[in-house]
Amino acid sequence: MISTEDLFGKISNLPPKYGWQAGGYSCRCIRCNDRFQGRKRASECADCAYDETIDRSPPTKEDLELWNKMLDDIIGKHNEK
């Protein structure tokens, strides 16, 4: 017999936090890639949203420069084809 959790993912009724909100939609967590039931645009499962070990500090200037360089490389390679 297949459970609701097998079909729709982890279920939690914890209060909203970061990308987590309870709801009835089947979602996929951007951090752990697990399926969970959450609000329509929830981006994190409750486990990840409540995980205090995750670094949630804003990106540094160096992080943003690296990100922009990677995007420029990808777009440049795509435009060469």
Letter string b/e over residues 57-72, b meaning 16 or more CB atoms within 10 A of that residue's CB: eeeeeeeeeeeeeeee
- Side-chain half-sphere CA neighbours of 28 within 13 A: 2
**Rounded-to-integer distance, Cα 6 and Cα 58, Å:** 34
What is the CA angle 49-53-57, rounded to 5? 80
DSSP 8-state class, residue 47 = H
In this predicted structure, what is the pLDDT of residue 9?
Answer: 73
Q: Are the beta carbons of 20 and 44 closer than 8 angstroms? A: yes
pLDDT (tens place) for every residue of the chain, 81 residues total: 555 565 567 888 899 999 999 998 999 999 999 999 999 999 999 999 999 999 889 989 999 999 999 999 888 866 666
